[in-house]
Amino acid sequence: MRLEAVELRRIKLPLVAPFETSFGVQTERDVLLVKAITDAGEGWGECVAGEEPTYSSEYVDGAQHVLIHHLLPRLWGRELDAADVAPLLHPVHGHNMAKAAIEMALLDAQLRAAGRSFGEFFGAVREAVDCGVSVGIQPSVAELVRVVGGYLDQGYRRIKLKIKPGWDVEPVRAVREKFGEVPLQVDANTAYTLADAQHLSELDPFGLLLIEQPMREELVFAHAEMAKVVRTPICLDESIHTYQSAADAIAIGACRIINVKPGRVGGYLEARRIHDLCAAKGVPVWMGGMLETGIGRAGNVAMAAMPNFTLPGDTSASDRYYHRDVTEPFVLRDGRLRVPTGPGLGVTVDEEFLDTITTWTGTLGRAGLRAG
Active site residues per annotation: 162, 261
Residue of 288, 278, 287 lying closest to 256 (CA atoms): 278
Q: In what order do the strands lie in the sheet with 184-187?
A: 132-135, 158-162, 184-187, 211-212, 234-236, 257-260, 285-287
C-beta of residue 45 within 8 angstroms of C-beta of residue 100: yes
Beta bridge partners, 369, equal: 364
Shortest reach from residue 297's CB to ligand OSB, in Å? 9
d(C-alpha 46, C-alpha 17), whole Å: 21
Q: Which stretch binds Mg ion (CB under 5 A): 172-180, 206-214, 274-282, 347-355?
A: 206-214
Interface stretch with ligand OSB, choices 33-41, 223-231, 285-293, 322-330 (CB under 6 A): 285-293
- Burial class of 90 by CB neighbour count within 10 A (0 to 12, 13 to 18, 19+): exposed
What are the phi and psi torsion angles at 264 (to 5°)? -65, -30
Q: Are 102 and 36 in contact (CB under 8 A)?
A: yes
Site residues for ligand OSB, window 130-159 (CB under 6 A)? 134
Residue-wise DSSP of 217-247? TT-HHHHHHHTTT--SPEEESTT--SHHHHH
Based on CB atoms, which residue is closest to ligand OSB, 42 or 238? 238
Binding ligand OSB (rule: CB under 6 A), the pick from 171, 214, 288, 340 is 288
Which member of 42, 237, 270, 325 binds Mg ion (CB under 5 A)?
Answer: 237
Asked if 316 touches ligand OSB (CB under 6 A), the answer is yes
Please report, as residue ranges, which positions from 77 to 96 form the binding site for ligand OSB (by CB under 6 A). Answer: none
Q: Does 289 bind ligand OSB (CB under 6 A)?
A: yes
Look at residue 134 and give the partner it binds from ligand OSB, Mg ion, none, a contact being a CB closer than 5 to 8 Å depending on partner kind: ligand OSB
Q: Does 257 bind ligand OSB (CB under 6 A)?
A: no
Residues that bind Mg ion (CB under 5 A): 187, 212, 237
Residues that bind ligand OSB (CB under 6 A): 55, 134, 187, 189, 237, 288-291, 314, 316
